[in-house]
Structure 1
Amino acid sequence: MNRIIAPIVLCFLLISPGIIAQNSKQPEFLKYTNSKWVDSIMNSLGPDERIAQLIMVAAYSNRDEAHKQEILKLVEEQKVGGLIFFQGDPVTQAELMNDYQLVADVPLLGAIDAEWGLGMRLDNTISYPFQMGLGAIQNDSLLYEMGQEVASQIKRVGLHVNFAPVVDVNNNPENPVINYRSFGEDKLNVTKKGIAYMKGMQDNNILTSAKHFPGHGDTATDSHYDLPQINHPRTRLDSIEIYPFKKLIDAGIGGVMVAHLDIPALDGSGVPSTLSRKIISDILKDSLEFRGLVITDAMNMKGVTKGNEPGVVDKEAMLAGNDLLEFTEDVPKAISEIRNAIDKGLITQEEIDNRVRKILAVKQWVGLDEYTPTSTQNMVADLNTAEAKLLHRRLVEASLTLLKNEASLIPLQRPDSLKIASISIGAEQMTRFQEGLELYARVAHFQLPVEATSKEIDSLKERLKDYNLVIAGLHDISKYPRNAVGFSKEVQEFISELSGRENTILSLFKNPYVIASLDNIENAQVLIEAYQDSEVTQEMAAQLIFGAIGASGKLPVSVGEKFKLGDGLNSKSLGRFKYTLPEEAGMKSSYLFPKVDSLMQQAIDAKAIPGGQILIARNGKVVMHKAYGFHRYSDTIRVKKNDLYDLASVTKISSALPALMKLYDEGKFSLDAGIDDYLPYFRNSNKAGIPFRQILAHQARLKPWIPYWKNTLRKNGSFKWNTFKKDSSARYPIKVSDELWLHRNYQKKIFREIKKSPLEEKAEYKYSGLVFYLLPSIVEEITNEDYRTYLNENFYSPLGATTLTYNPMEEFPESQIVPTESDFNFRRETIHGNVHDEGAIMMGGVSANAGLFANATDIAKLMQMYLNMGEYAGKRYISEATLKEFSKTQFPENENRRALGFDKPNLEYTGENNNTAKSASESSFGHTGFTGTMVWVDPEYDLLYIFLSNRVLPTRENTRLYQLNTRTQIQQAIYDSMMD
């Protein structure tokens, strides 16, 4: 069926070479041609009713009541045998089919064009990749799996036949009607893909129809509008165009759809192939021995109706040997003409009856002998399962074709060494591709419309001078990836210039044939062919560039002199986060998503938090990444996934701790050493000699905390001399708030207070943040480097954790930073853009106790490195032995659950008051934060969980988040969602 709409479907199972080599296999449905059910139906049908069984009319589910009555009349009065459904929605279509079946004397055969899934025709359904993209896939079992899924969906909407696959060999780049609907120009690849897709459907009792016989690939005319002519000799037609049909017939395909073509070498009369006895009866039925259903292409298309009267043309198609007339425009006339042809001896009643028996046999094979109405309950959900969506992603991933990769630029190894700009060419707003890039690195984004002016282009060029890597996405201007450029001359010249620039990555979300029309594009350092412009292709292309996935696709067509059939480089995954669905990580999205959503909504409704971010990953795959609610309760600013949250005490394991572990690996830091070994100032203190193993495990008898800011106050509430001033100066350079500037030496007083603080009497677990104020100085003492610089260079930048930072207002707009508390005691303002912790802000915002900000994406990268036991994206940061040592419980004999810096699950589960979910393993570790944050990893389950919120807004007295136990309830839901 020649039509145009949207993407195809996914799946598994190896297709063996023997499939193509086997002898001719008759369609399975033929075994029912003389069954008792078929005999009984035949005996009940009059002559005209038998003819009517051979007619299929067009039905729509997006039209009015008049259309429905028209179809009902054709079913009731004319007794048509089937319906082909076009545009509409699945629920209405199923309801209509139920209504039509109700008035049918013989159950109706329902068909649809679902070349790339139901999304080709029906709203709210899945569109899988177009066949051109599928042609790039090297694993044909995925197409079998896609066939299975498409079959399931077609059955779910109450239909039985798919007019697919297209097995036309598209050897004409200018083909206006097949093109991206073809698996490509290689007959063998087209054949293998066609068989895999066909078998996936027919193994699940959906009749398929190979189209468009004898081959519509080498035409420059659309048969919807005129009759194309193919002037190749018979030898060429047999060896190329007809080849896939022959092999699919041998493999047992149930139907073949005949195209409207003028092919002199096969029939010199000039009649369309649909009306040619030589092509249908002599070649398809006799020479190729096809015994299945021969189906016409739509009988309303100009390729067959031109010069032919409705009804009469249907008779001619029947005389040519077709079994099923699709889209008959005048049913009464068609029946009358065919009956007259029988009366005149142009065709026998026996021939008609044999064809009717085949139609009825198909009906029995698909289960219409025991017809039951289709339930519409949960239909949309059933058609959009996580498994079906995951299959879509897997197909897209397998299709991505890396045509150029000079100097192995991708996957990008060290994006932190690059200043990256992205351009969406052909888009006027931020694209999903650009959003995907932003998950891995800091990227400046630009858009360039299809008709951009020279002035706009010159302005963009000037701005690009500041960047040493440009990533450009070339986007399609139409719904379908036609072989059309669409860009203005100026934009094309810019693309050409960009392609010659060093360190340029181009991702083409367009038809591969477009490459031939874009000058110099083949000279880009990196060129990715993505085949179409969908959200999924954009997401996956971004993941490919940064090494979250690899490339394996091969070009299914040749592109002028630039690239040849089969071109495509392989690339490997670096192990960066892959963004996908829970099912790919062995989790159940139907449980996880609604459960997490409801728990977050419960917390928001209870005003426990105004909003938050959730990130969940398993096996290195991000399976849920979502923002909820607002920055403030009274806000209109919704939380976005790239917003930054104050991490609070999560800073303890995200700043100095990775530095200490690295220095421990290097032999520069010892767990047996004390503070005084690195800060001589502490040699004469009561802290001297206390080993860091005890300190980091919170078993060093240290006081929990010191209210430093309160020690700056006089009894009357004013600040003491040499503490704060309202304005900044050389003596008061440390900003605490707009009207509070701290004395430059006050940090020494903080150190002095820590030094003089008394020790607890008993050596037992007591959480203390005191030493974490000192750790930045210790790291600087050991490394002779600035603390922040050391962290950025050794961890945050190479991880691509671009928002993991202190004092975020230095780099990010206030609108991207979520506020915390309205502080009426100390700073007397709403804390926004600065650290919430009073001690940390008095340290200039830089402490190991608190001070770090990040979004969920970036803190997750650091935590995944921990989960990977020190490695991320092919780079080792910390040795596995060190990570294991630091993340294990140190003093369980003292009923202390803590590791070194990291928190651990309670030694015994304590119910609702437990610090983790019940299912968290003993090997799990992480930390929570006062502002309402939690980060946790579980090596036993290869699981990562990030929860960010600002529960302290407007006041720290708001403890509802603890009372609801939201964080650990979500954590438990994660475990409960695991299917294994």
Structure 2
Amino acid sequence: MTSRRQALAGMAGAAWMWSAAMPNAASAASDRATARSLVDRMTLEEKVGQLFMIEVAGQDAFRVSEAAAALNRRRYGVATPAEVLRKYAPGGVIYFSARGDDNLASPRQIARLSDGLQRASRSATGLPLIISVDQEGGAVSRMPTPPATPQPGNMALGATWSPSDARRSYEITGAELHACGITADHAPVADVNVNPANPVIGVRSFGASPQAVSTFVQAAIKGLHRGGVAVTAKHFPGHGDTDTDSHFGLPRITHSRSQLDAIDLPPFRAAVAAGVDLIMTAHISVPALDPTLVPATMSHAVVTGLLREELGFDGLIVTDALDIQGASKQFPPDKAAVTALAAGVDMLVLSPDLPLAHAAVVDAVRSGRISASRLDASVVRILSHKIRRGLFTDVLGDGFEDRAERVVGRPEFRSDVVAITARSTTLVKNDNGALPIRTGARGVLVTGSDSVAVSRLAASFTSRGHAVTSLDAGATPDRGRIDEVVAAAAAADLVVVATSGLTVGGGKDAGVAQVGLVRALLAAKTRVVVVGVRTPYDINRFPDAPVYLATYGNGADALDHAVQVIVGEHGPSGRLPVSIPVAGDPSQTLFPIGHGLRY
């Protein structure tokens, strides 16, 4: 067995060195031929293992805490990540900082974990792992920050209207991931966020213009490739027009085929043209594409008919997490794995019951429900990807822990991202030239619904010598709390109120308490600046507010720059990447795409 594993690794390593010097078409053919020869030497169980991208608990491949060991035993029946790899030989691992996995603590530790996992996988099968993470930046960031460079996120990048800024942002992300031994990023989001009530995409999208999103997706792909990692475009065929969160239900996209072609599909076509490595399917039903209403992940018409055949994508098709309810509510682990594979998916991400799902696929192939050729086609693609990305060679090498520590959070990375974030701040409303504001002796009251934003805004004003009172109003302030904030406002020259996601989830009652706070402050005739620290749509709930800034996130850099704009240290330059509709009448536009004021 050992000699066979060594032969597998040796063949693929030689193929990678050979194909690296060849033209792209010839290289791809060579990779595919080598992968085919590797597949011919694998057992059925080994092939099925390659289909799965799993999570493992712990910060080391070989030694973990008792809590991590208990979690691994509950999931897989063994204690350490290395033992999991030996038992199931998965094709990939995805890192998390929550969910109990606790994989991500520091650059040195992450690099050590990556190296250990690769050594354990090669020892078990002769095959390397795809090691991945959801590092989108902004709202979805897994890497420990600091020291990792905090990125502004996609909608903030969209507000810069600068593809070069997006490319640089993602290049930094890619370089930091690569230094830690992570081989693939499940980013960027390619969804076009045309629904202000979208509870799961929102600021994770570059915006509402299909053309702009397409351009930014291509910039992100170039940036991550420059940084040294593979790229995933998600969530196919487009998750941008829904008010249902696929983590908790199955959204239905009601776009016609012509609307899909005009709105949702252009960024994915652009991603394919830019050489994206992976495309992640969405757990959404799209009647115009498949009238059976199964999730796109489980639909042969969507995965094979549209993505593989019509769009011509020949890279890896991976599922969104199979443990979220958009998939698991209708498809239990065994059925989900078999159905997604039959639809044309290559890799199954986060099956909620790996032993059951693995056994189900093995049984489906043995019984003929899944053909051997269908299985082999996916495994060939997976191994071709690993050859093409050089994963059969020594990924990290000597001194890898020191290198990870040097690369992650480099000063030049930090300064570049601070400048990019500054270019995203959008002044949406500034009646009568209210900004910039110079505060007097009584100072500033900072309040609002986002406790992190309130704290960071207050710290930013304090650092500039202002007398600051900070009152966290909470997400749903009651009448007594609102009265307390209004009373405090009477003693301030300026009130800065942070709002957060008032439109998310839809319905006329969304954000009622937060809106009540803002309106009470406006009625008090106090100088009020509203800062929307999540999606930029909040202004449509109080359109009479005289000043409104959008930051697209509650990161420290974004909020510090908002303060700079408020006090006149730096002018605003961002422009809306989405349109803001009139509340209650989405056919009417309050502020159009591209709107942004200067002073």
Give the structure-1-normalised TM-score: 0.51
What SS does the corresponding residue of 1:453 show, helix, strand or coil? helix
Counterpart in 1 of 2:447?
425
Of 522, 526, 540, which residue of structure 1 is paired with 2:561? 540
2:458 pairs with 1:460: no
Structure-2 separation of matches of 1:435 and 1:274: 45
In structure 2, what is the equivalent of residue 58 of structure 1?
A: 55
Q: Is the 8 A contact 1:56 1:83 kept in 2?
A: yes
Determine if the alignment matches structure 1 residue 100 to structure 2 residue 100. Answer: no
- Matching residue of 2:44: 47
- 1-side partners of 2:269 and 2:521: how far apart? 43
Which of the numbers 167, 188, 195 marks the counterpart of 1:144?
167
Map of 1:515 onto structure 2: 539
CA contact 2:447–2:495 (8 Å) conserved in 1: no
Cross-structure match for 1:569 = 597
Task: State the AA in 2 paired with 1:45.
Answer: M
Task: Report if aligned partners of 2:290, 2:299 keep a CA contact under 8 Å in 1.
Answer: yes
Task: Give the secondary structure class of the aligned counterpart of 1:50.
Answer: helix
- The residue aligned with 2:31 is 33
Q: Of 384, 400, 417, which aligns to 2:409?
A: 384
Change (3 A) 1:189 1:496: farther
Equivalent position of 1:870 in the other structure: none
| RMSD, matched Cα | 3.2
The match for 2:496 among 467, 472, 479 is 472
What is the SS of the residue equivalent to 1:56? strand
Shift of residue 178 of structure 1?
Answer: 1.2
Residue 560 (str. 1) matches residue 581 (str. 2): yes
Residue of structure 1 in register with 2:184 after alignment: 161
Preserved CA contact (<8 Å) 1:284 1:290? yes
Contact in 1 for aligned 2:497/2:528 (Cα 8 Å): no
- Matched residue SS, 1:377: helix
2:172–2:227 Cα contact (<8 Å) kept: no
Equivalent of residue 199 in structure 2, options 171, 176, 196: 176
- 1:549 alignment counterpart: 570
User: Which of the residues 425, 429, 433 maps onto 1:404?
Assistant: 429
Give the drift of 1:362: 1.5
Normalised by the size of structure 2, how large is the TM-score?
0.80
Aligned to 1:69: 79
**How far, CA to CA, are the matches of 2:530 and 2:332 in structure 1?**
51
**What amino acid sits opposite 2:31 in the alignment?**
T
Partner of 1:216: 239
* d(CA) in 2 for partners of 1:204, 1:337: 38
Residue number among 476, 494, 497 corresponding to 2:523 in the alignment: 497
Query: Alpha-carbon deviation of 1:173?
Result: 1.5
Kindly tell me the number of residue pairs found equivalent between the two proteins: 533
Mapping 1:253-652, distance limit 5 Å? 253-373=276-396, 375-377=400-402, 379-380=404-405, 382-411=407-436, 415=438, 421-426=443-448, 431-437=455-461, 445=469, 447=471, 449-450=473-474, 451=477, 453=481, 455-464=483-492, 467=493, 470-474=494-498, 476=500, 485=511, 487=513, 491-497=517-523, 504-517=528-541, 519-520=542-543, 522-524=544-546, 526-561=547-582, 562-571=590-599
Q: Deviations over 1:385-433 (max 9, x none)?
A: 2122223312210110011234444345xx49x6674221127898443
Assess if the C-alpha contact under 8 Å between 2:31 and 2:387 holds in 1.
no
Matched-pair contact (CA < 8 Å) for 1:457–1:494: no
CA distance in structure 1 between the partners assigned to 2:112 and 2:154 by the alignment: 30
Cα offset for 1:365? 2.4
Which is further off, 439-448 or 562-571?
439-448
Per-residue deviation at 1:270? 2.2
Write the distance in 2 (CA, Å) between the matches of 1:83 and 1:389: 28
SS at match of 2:333: coil
Structure 1 residue matching 2:392: 3-state secondary structure: helix
Q: Is the 8 A contact 2:85 2:120 kept in 1?
A: yes
CA deviations 1:732-784 (Å, max 9, x no partner) are: xxxxxxxxxxxxxxxxxxxxxxxxxxxxxxxxxxxxxxxxxxxxxxxxxxxxx
CA deviations over 1:605-662 (Å, ceiling 9, x no partner)? xxxxxxxxxxxxxxxxxxxxxxxxxxxxxxxxxxxxxxxxxxxxxxxxxxxxxxxxxx
Per the alignment, residue 225 of structure 1 pairs with 248
**SS across alignment from 1:311:** helix
CA distance 1:563–1:344, shift in 2 (3 Å): same
Is the 8 Å Cα contact of residues 28 and 252 (structure 1) preserved in structure 2?
Answer: no
The answer for unaligned runs of 5 or more in structure 1 is 1-24, 572-980
- In 1: Cα distance, 2:232 partner to 2:25 partner: 11
Q: 1:489 to 1:242 in 2, by over 3 A?
A: closer
CA 1:440–1:163 in structure 2 vs 1: closer, same or farther (change >3 Å)?
closer
Which 5+ residue runs of structure 2 have no aligned equivalent? Answer: 1-22, 60-66, 73-77, 583-589
State the distance in 2 between where 1:151 and 1:28 align: 27
How do 1:653-668 residues align onto structure 2 when only pairs under 5 Å count? none
Distance 1:434-1:96 versus aligned 2 partners, 3 A rule: closer
| Aligned residue type for 1:393 | V
Deviation at 1:132, TM superposition (A): 2.1
Whether the 8 Å contact between 1:437 and 1:543 is mirrored in structure 2 is no
Q: Which digits, 9 at most, give the CA deviation of each residue in 1:120-143, with x for residues without a partner?
A: 223343331232222211211011
2:9 aligns with none
C-alpha separation in 2, matches of 1:113 and 1:221: 21
* Alpha-carbon offset, residue 361 of structure 1: 1.8
Q: Is the 8 A contact 1:315 1:337 kept in 2?
A: yes
Provide the rounded CA distance (Å) in 2 between the counterparts of 1:205 and 1:27. 21
Q: Secondary structure at the match of 2:580?
A: coil
**What amino acid is the match of 2:401?**
T
Does the Cα contact within 8 Å between 1:263 and 1:273 map onto a contact in 2?
yes
Conserved in 2, the CA contact under 8 Å of 1:132 and 1:556? yes
- Kindly provide the amino acid, as one letter, of the partner of residue 556 in structure 1: P
Q: CA deviation at 1:59?
A: 2.3
Q: Are the equivalent residues in 1 in contact too, given 2:130–2:183 (CA < 8 A)? A: yes
Whether the 8 Å contact between 1:453 and 1:490 is mirrored in structure 2 is no
What letter is aligned with 2:537? Answer: Y
Aligned pairs for 1:500-899 (under 5 A) are 504-517=528-541, 519-520=542-543, 522-524=544-546, 526-561=547-582, 562-571=590-599
Distance 1:308 1:445 in 2: 51
Q: Which has the higher helix share?
A: 2
Correspondences of 1:911-950 after superposition (within 5 Å): none
Deviation at 1:282, TM superposition (A): 0.7
Q: Which amino acid aligns with 1:422?
A: V
Alignment-mate amino acid for residue 49 of structure 1: E
Q: Distance in 2 between matches of 1:318 and 1:207?
A: 22
Confirm or deny: 8 A CA contact 2:139 2:553 kept in the other structure: no
Aligned counterparts of 1:79 and 1:48: Cα–Cα separation in 2: 8
Cα distance between partner residues in 2 of 1:129 and 1:482: 23
Q: CA offset at residue 70 of structure 1?
A: 5.4
The residue identity in structure 2 corresponding to 1:52 is G
Q: Distance in 1 between matches of 2:36 and 2:289?
A: 37
Contact 1:179 1:482 in 2 (8 A): no
Letter of the 1:531 partner, please give it: Y
Seen in structure 2, the aligned counterparts of structure 1 residues 443 and 59 have a Cα distance that, compared at 3 Å, is same
Which residue identity is paired with 1:82?
A: G
Matched, 1:250 2:273: yes
Name the aligned partner's letter for residue 98 of structure 1: D
Q: Distance in 2 between matches of 1:185 and 1:27?
A: 35
Aligned match of 2:96: 86
Amino acid at match of 2:521: I
Larger Rg: 1
